[in-house]
Every structure is written in C-alpha cells, then in structure tokens.
Structure 1
Amino acid sequence: MIRRAFLCLVFAITAASAADPARVLIIVGPSKHPPGSHEVAAGGRVMQHCVEHMTNVPGVKADVVYEWPEKALRDAARTVVFIGDTFPANRLPNPQQNLADLDAMMKRGCGIVCVHYATGLLGEDVTIEGDHPLLRWMGGYFANRSCKHHESFAKIFPAATITPAAPQHPVSRGWKEFTLHDEPYTNNYFGRGNIMAPNVTTLATSMLPPDKPKRETVAWCVERDDGGRGFGIVMPHFYKNWRNDDLRRFILNAIVWTAKLDVPADGVQTTLPDLAEFKPEAVEYVPPPPKQKPAPTK
C-alpha cells in the first residue's frame, strides 16, 4: 500500500512537471529613442504575444518585466530575451549583481537572446581589451563608439537585404531573404582580431554599405560549453518592421531554439495583430524636430 501510494505521488509530480509550460523571460531596458523607433516596451509585448500564440509550438509562456526580475522568474526561464538601448543588464540598477544573476542562469544552461541595440555595450561596460561576459554568452556584440578596442557602426539604410547564411541551422527554418528599411549594425565584434570563436555561427548577412558593399554578419548564434545557447540580431530599429513575417519568424525561431525546444520544419508560425494594440508611442517613426540654430547676437 505504501509503495503504491509512493508511486502514485511520483507519477503525479512527474505529470505536473511535464505539464508546466516552458517559460521565456523578456527583459525590457530603458530607451530614449523617438516614437516609432526601438519602442522597446511595445517590442517586448509583441514578442510576448507571439511566443504565447505560436500555433506549431504550443504551450510556451512569456513573462515581460521592465526592471530586473525576481529570482523566481529567473529560475523559471529557459531563455532570457533582452530589448533596450544597449545591454539592459548593464543599464538597469546594480549592474554587477545583474551580471552575477545572469552568470548563474547561463551556468545552468539558460539561453539568451538580444534584439537590436540590446546587443550593444558601451566602453564603460567592457575591459580595455573588450572583454565582457556577453561575448561568451551570446558569441558577439555591437561595440558602441565609446569602446576603445573596436567600433561597430549604426546607420539606417533605405533597403538592406538580409540573406540566410546557415540554411541548415534550425533558426533558419521557414524564412527567406528579405529587404527592410532599417538599421542593421555593421562591423560587430566577435573577439580578439574580430574572429568568431569556433562555436559561433553566422546566421544572416547583408552586403553593406551599398556604396562599398562588404558581407556583414547581422545575426549569429553560439552553442556554449555550459550547454546553453545564445543568439544576437541587430534588427529591428523601426517598430513597424515587426510586421515582416520573415524577420519575426527568424527571431521567434531563435527564442525557441535557445529555449531548447524543437523548431518546426517550416519555422515558428504566428499571426500578428495590429501593432498599435501593443501600445507603442507610435507605429511609424516620428523623427525628432530639427535643432534650432541660435539667433545671432547683435
């Protein structure tokens, strides 16, 4: 009788654990960009909606936070997604503790995804040689012009064509080459000599700038020694570009892959509602007003 009760208890616990949804943690950092660009809070809500409405990867839940998350959320996450102006762990209060918390997550094999400027680090964040844990967790980063060791470049292009570079990789499933009016960063940093580590894979490239084209890595991934996976993508700058099915599927595939879930053969499928539903300041980009020249002194 005792043995039977014990086996029933074990079965119940196992069944409950199996029924627990995979959880994605989305951390939104601060941003000072004008309406229609970055829109990091609305972008976080877009990703949450898409993750929770994947028709061919059901049962995944996403938590969105706008400050550093509590331990329970960190412990529950299979992967953590960052969006913000530069890497949010360094911009939110207590950066050293934030990095220590992330280190604990990474050591247990948690995934990490950084979107657009969240791939970025400032000179104050890195050593003089450019070292930072993000280099190992994600495989590379955007080096802000304040960095002494390397300078990546941010420029908006009217038409940047994004080309798959690793068609056999699970993150490449179901999306094709696409062209966007956007700001894909170039000359991203992948380590000393700007040479990728053997465990880092280029997933997408673009020939930029148009006047002197060079094949630039604009999305990449890493399979880490701790068993975790990382992904960086330097788009979208403009909020409206979340409408692009190929870009959205690319990012969702990466979230699923870094969470160690199976990416479907045709990629993640979702239907996106009106972007205005996610409460951005503006769907379209609103450029800042031109600076007024000071009136000449008499």
Structure 2
Amino acid sequence: MRLSILFLVAASLCIGFHKNVVDAKETKIVLVAGKPSHPPRMHEFNAGVQLMTECLKDVPDLNVQFVLNGWPEDESIFDDASAVVFFMDGGRRHEVVGEKGRRLKVVDEWSSKGVGLGFMHFGVEVIADQAGTEFKRWIGGHYEHMHSCNPIWEPNFMVFPEHPISRGVKPFQAKDEWYFNMRFVGDISGEKAAEIEGLKFVPILTAIPSDKVRDGPYVYPQGPYPHIQASKGRAEAMMWTVERPDGGRGFGFTGGHFHDNWENDNYRRVVLNAILWIAKVNVPKGGVESAVSKKQLNANLDPKNPR
C-alpha cells in the first residue's frame, strides 16, 4: 500500500511538472479592451478583442488572454506576458495614463523588459504632456490633438514593406476613421523607414490622402488644419512598427473605428500578424489564416442605444 501511494504521488508530480513544461513553451499575449463608447458597431473594443482571440486560437504554442472593460483590477493577468495590446479610448482619460501615472510606470517597466506593446485606434491618442514621451519610446509615436487628424475615408493600401507583418497581406481598401499625421519620434513624417533615437521604425500601412480628405471635414475638430493641407501629395502612415533598444517591439494602428471592418481578410490579417510579431512569435509565411462568420462578427457586441 505504501509503495502504491508513493507511486501515485510520484506520478502526480511528474504530470504536474510536464504541464508546467508545456505551459512554459507557450507565448502569452494579453489583449485589453476599453469600456464601451460610441454608437453601435463603432469602438466595439470588447467584441474586437474577443474576435481577435478567436482568430488566433489555432496558432501553435500561443496563449491569448483578454481583458474586458478597461484596465483590470487584478493585474496578475499581465504576469509573464510577451506582449500586451490596448484597443480602447484614449486622450485625456486614456486607461494607461490612469492612477496619476502609476500605470504608465507599470507599462514602462514592461517595455524595459522587452515586452511587446501595441495600441489601436483611439488608443494611440494621448496628451503629449501626459504620455507623449512614453508612447514615442514604446511604439514610435502617437496621435496628438490638433496636430494629427481623424477623417473618415477609404485609403487604398497597395504596397507593403518586406516585413513579417506584411506576410499574406494583399492590397485592400477599408473605409474607416484612419488617423494620420502622427506625432512620431524625432518629428519624422513616418511614410518611410528610419532609424532614429535608437528605434528601428517601419511603416506598414501607407497611402496618400486625397486633397479632399486633407481639406476635411475631420471627425473632431472638423478642421481643416493648414499644416495638414500643406502636405498634399504626401503618403501617410496609418500602421507602423518599431524595434526598441530594450529588445522589445511595438506597433500603432489607427484603424478600428468600424467593427465591421474585421470582416475584411487583409485588414484583419495585418493586425493579427502584428500581434504575433510584437510577441516575437513567428508569423506564418502566408500570414495568420482566419475566417470570420457573420455570427462571429455579431457576437459580444456591447449593448448600446442607437444615436
């Protein structure tokens, strides 16, 4: 009997050890959704992160977890994460700027350890004096009120750089609130790759806004801004990446306003590829393969009153 008990204890220890080994092989990514905002099918952060999690489920050795409705009360979900992506409202009430700057310090500590960081749509906007320096260091830039602009338009993304995030991405168009004229590190315009202030900067999605787009109206403020009009004919970066001196990676993506764009295979693929890349997970040769049904697209939408 004693031998049997010892055998069972030993076996259970072996099983537990094996599970830890398997878990240790997994790369952990955390997707953080902001609180509900805007009318239905816009800023659907909660539905968006759950949809992205579903789209990444078949990637081997990947553990994707999500947080709903803002910064989590239990921050242990971030333990051992290789990358964290924020899809949320920004500006003065940005979740990452909360608690009198404590969260900024938390994220900055992740960055110093090489954790990948991604910010999407309104989440790329911060007040320059609050978090502009950090965002330039983490992801190479940010949306700045009255410097950047936010028209709803339909760029035609035709050419992509030689980069893992571009794998499998074919030319596409998508009507969205595509921000541009970001406040990039070193005040670069962002349409070309650059190495500056220790960052390797690569634009992924670029297109030339028409003169009509530059002339406005923008969503808010409606503009137009003379400095935006003065750059007519220049390509603009609406998704970009950086490799940081700390060994970490980052990306910014200014789309994501309209939830239904996740049905676009190439729109979806470029974001999924970016999530893998900042976590240092190999991006498949043809990019992340996923399919989204109408049922999946309509799942987990926030209850909102039509405006």
TMscore range, shorter length: 0.7 to 0.9
> Distance in 2 between the 1:91 and 1:43 partners?
17
Q: 1:30 touches 1:88 (CA, 8 Å); kept in 2?
A: no
Letter in 2 for 1:189: R
The residue aligned with 1:231 is 251
Q: Is the 8 A contact 2:203 2:239 kept in 1?
A: yes
Query: Counterpart in 1 of 2:165?
Result: 171
Query: Is residue 2:77 matched to residue 1:45?
Result: no
Whether the 8 Å contact between 2:70 and 2:88 is mirrored in structure 1 is: no
Contact 2:70/2:95 (8 A) holds in 1: no
Q: Does structure 1 conserve the Cα–Cα contact (< 8 Å) formed by 2:29 and 2:82? A: yes
Deviation at 1:31, TM superposition (A): 4.7
Alpha-carbon deviation of 1:242?
A: 0.6
Listed as ranges, the matches of 1:22-171 within 5 Å are 22-52=27-57, 54=58, 57-65=59-67, 66-69=69-72, 70-86=74-90, 90-91=94-95, 93-123=98-128, 125-126=130-131, 131-145=132-146, 151-157=147-153, 159-166=154-161, 168-171=162-165
Partner of 1:201: helix, strand, or coil?
Answer: strand
When you count helix as a share of all residues, which structure comes out higher?
Answer: 2
The answer as to whether partners of 2:33 and 2:49 remain within 8 angstroms in 1 is: yes
Q: Is the 8 A contact 1:88 1:118 kept in 2?
A: no
CA deviations over 1:175-212 (Å, ceiling 9, x no partner):
11101111111111112433555111111101113535
Shift of 1:90: 3.4
Shift of 1:61: 2.2
Q: CA deviation at 1:162?
A: 2.1
SS at match of 1:237: coil
Percent of residue pairs bearing the same amino acid type: 30
Deviation larger for 88-97 or 187-196: 88-97
After TM superposition, give the deviation of residue 34 of structure 1 in Å: 1.5
1:224-274 Cα deviation digits (max 9, x unpaired) = 011100011111210100101001100000000111110010001112232
Letter of the 2:155 partner, please give it. Answer: A
Q: Report the secondary structure of 2:251's partner residue.
A: strand
Checking the alignment, whether the CA contact within 8 Å between 1:36 and 1:281 is kept in structure 2 is: no
Q: TM-score, normalised by structure 1?
A: 0.79
Residue type of the partner of 1:111?
G
Instruction: Give the secondary-structure state (helix, strand or coil) at the position aligned to 1:235.
Output: coil
**Residue 194 (structure 1) aligns with:** 188
Conserved? CA contact 1:30–1:91, under 8 Å: no
> What SS does the corresponding residue of 2:235 show, helix, strand or coil?
strand
Q: Is the 8 A contact 1:89 1:95 kept in 2?
A: no
Match of 2:239 in 1: 219
Matched residue of 1:76: which SS? coil
Aligned CA-pair RMSD? 2.6
Alpha-carbon distance between aligned partners in 1 of 2:109 and 2:93, rounded to the nearest angstrom: 14
Paired amino acid for 1:177: P
Is 2:30–2:81's contact at 8 Å kept on the other side of the alignment? yes
**Worse-matched range after superposition: 24-33 or 231-240:** 24-33
Q: Does 1:279 align with 2:274?
A: no
Q: Tell me: CA distance 1:109–1:123, structure 2 relative to 1, closer, same or farther (3 Å).
A: closer
Alignment of 1:234-253 (within 5 A): 234-253=254-273
Cα deviation code 1:19-39 (max 9, x no counterpart): 443221111223531112111
Gaps of 5+ in 2: 1-12, 213-231
Partner in structure 2 of residue 181 of structure 1: 175
Answer with 117-126 or 237-246: which moved more.
117-126
SS of 1:246's equivalent in the other structure is: helix
TM-score (normalizing by structure 2): 0.77
Q: Which residue identity lines up with residue 67 of structure 1 in the other structure? A: G
Q: CA deviation at 1:140?
A: 1.3
Query: Shift in Å at residue 17 of structure 1?
Result: 3.0
